Amino acid sequence: MKSSSSLLSRFQTAALIAATIVLGFLLYVYLAYAVNLMQFPFDYDQGEGFELVDTILFSQGRQPYLDANVYPFYASNYPPLYHVVAAPFVWFFGAQYWYGRLLGFLSSLVAATAIAWAVQRNTGHRWIALLSGLAFLASNTVYHIGPLFRQHMFMVMFETLAIVVLAGVNEVASQPRRRRLLLLGILLLLAAGYTKQLAAFTAVGAFAFLLIRQPRRAFFWGIGFAIAAGGIFLALNLITNGEWWNHVIRANINQYNLDQTIGLYRLWWSLHGALIIPAALLVLYELYFDRLSIYSIWFVFAVGVGAASGQWGAGDSYFSTAVAAMCILSGIFAGRTLRGGWRFPTNYLTRLTRPLSGLRHATAAGVATLVPLLYLAYGVATFHMPTEGFLFDDLARIFNIRPNTNFAFYDSAGRIAGGYADIGHLTTQADIDAGWQITHIVREAQGSAMTEDAGFSIRAGRDVVGNPTQLLNLASAGLFASRELIGMIERQEFGVIVFRGQLYPVDVLQAIAAHYAPETTIGMNGFTYIIMRPR
């Protein structure tokens, strides 16, 4: 018996070491990706340049919620906090991408640290806590969006911190300390919501937990939260003459594709299933044998957010909050299993399984053996890496890892779902050279210039004309009168138009096709940029 226990312990240790190596390597890949992107001076993901424009406007004491029907036809559809935090960097470093990408990358590290801390606090198992944090950073979804100049990971950081802060607030004996924690948690929820609208689901989940545990306290704090959130909302709407409502709410109600939603749920399961299973088991355990924790309620709401991923413009990033909740729950499940911390109070379910009580020890030993393998399986399922560059080309050759994307990059997710970001590869000097080539064309053009990537206009010192995806959103909602923009196109006031994805409203694209002709194409970062000149 002693020898069998020792063998089991050695097997668990070996499996934990193997999982740590795989997930640790994926952290190295993530770091290499982040450093590479911070050195790239142009849009990597479509929309980064417009995030930079928002940041520049705030640094100048202006706001980006503008009337998109008049020149320069620009408006933002995201809340302001991320851009406000990044704005001081503009004062010192000018218009650059690196600090927005650094902010996103650091946000993912903070979220991973909060996940690890929550698992450590609940289980006392440091190794599993480490693996839980690494698992978050290893997720293909988190890897893709973490180091981008986008606000999504900033939101996930605030969401995770808020949930971790509020997790044990009702058990705090000291009333002043409990109030401080409640206030901090609510401020973090507000910060998440005014980073990106999706955080509203986390706020609802958090208050559902507080309501279940302490209805009276949750009611009064909920009123305070609603007054604060509503007051900020009304103030922003007043300051922007109602454009805040148009751009952040009305323009974000987009066309819905059910097939894309189903595909992204399938993708989420295929990548993260090894940790989704223990997370779901812990939710069921709490439902039938314990009290529901804030982590379980958050997980349910976060998984529900995925239903919105079928909207036009949405994608796999909508599952990043669910990944954070999954990592905490699966970590608690794993840590509790390895420490033998399960308790099953007598109820109708335990009475039904009483004839199998003799198998409990063997079952517990089997589950404890399986748990470390789940992290190893997760690392294999989410595996991704460049196949060229320092260390990567040697590893790709040794392990026969070949690119399965349009780049020198292997992604275990493949391309099985619409809305999945086809990014993650490293940029090259050729990409940078192509970016400066396009910038030179924009700078030398007669008249104005219109580019689907804002970075070219920013680098060329030109006005950023139009935010194509937001103009399309507005047009779909009946909020964009394109007459003035089409008039400029018909008068050929733009000396050059640079297409990347032709994302403008249909009537704008038709006007461009009638009055402009392709001159040349330039490849950058896997995309073909079409240089359009007046006919």
Is 437 a domain residue?
yes
User: Under a CB-based contact definition with an 8 Å cutoff, are residues 486 and 513 in contact?
Assistant: no
Distance CA 52, CA 14 (A): 46
149/216 same-domain check: yes
Q: Is residue 212 part of a domain?
A: yes
- Please, which residues bridge with residue 409 across strands? 386
Q: What is the DSSP letter of 256?
A: B
Residue from 228, 454, 415 nearest 316 by CA: 415
Residues 355 and 445 in one domain: no
Is 243 part of any domain?
A: yes
* Residues 153 and 33 occupy one common structural domain: yes
Task: Say how far apart CA 394 and CA 10 lie, in whole Å.
Answer: 31
DSSP state of 249: I
Give the count of beta carbons closer than 10 Å to the beta carbon of residue 267: 23
User: Could you tell me the residue range of the domain that residue 370 belongs to?
Assistant: 2-40+97-374
* Residue 49, in any domain of the structure: no
How many structural domains does the chain have?
Answer: 2
Which of 374, 394, 421 is the endpoint of a domain? 374
pLDDT of amino acid 322: 97
Spatial separation of the C-alpha atoms in residues 45 and 525, rounded to whole Å: 9
**Model confidence pTM above 0.85:** yes
Residue 495 forms part of a structural domain:
yes
CA angle 384, 389, 393 (to 5 degrees): 70
Segments of the chain scoring below 50 in pLDDT: 1, 356, 358-359
pLDDT at 356 (0 to 100)? 45
| 151 DSSP assignment | S
Q: What per-residue confidence (pLDDT) applies to 406?
A: 84
Measured between alpha carbons, how far is 187 from 459 in angstroms, rounded to an integer? 37
In angstroms, the CA 250 to CA 65 distance is 13
Asked if residue 513 belongs to a domain, the reply is yes
Looking at the structure, tell me whether residues 175 and 324 fall in a common domain: yes
Give the pLDDT confidence score for residue 10 in this predicted structure: 85
Cβ neighbours of 87 (radius 10 Å): 18
Are residues 364 and 447 both part of a single domain? Answer: no
Domain contains 56: no
pLDDT in tens, 175-228: 999 999 999 999 999 999 999 999 999 999 999 999 999 999 999 999 999 999
pLDDT of residue 46: 83
Compute the distance between CA of residue 363 and CA of residue 277 in angstroms, rounded to an integer: 17
Quick: pLDDT tens for 330-382: 999 999 988 876 776 666 555 655 554 544 555 556 667 788 899 999 999 99
Clarify whether residues 320 and 452 are in a common domain.
no
CA separation for the pair 81, 62 (Å, rounded): 14
pLDDT score, position 219: 94
Nearest-angstrom CA–CA distance, 226 and 115: 27
With respect to residue 458, please indicate whether it lies within any of the assigned structural domains.
yes
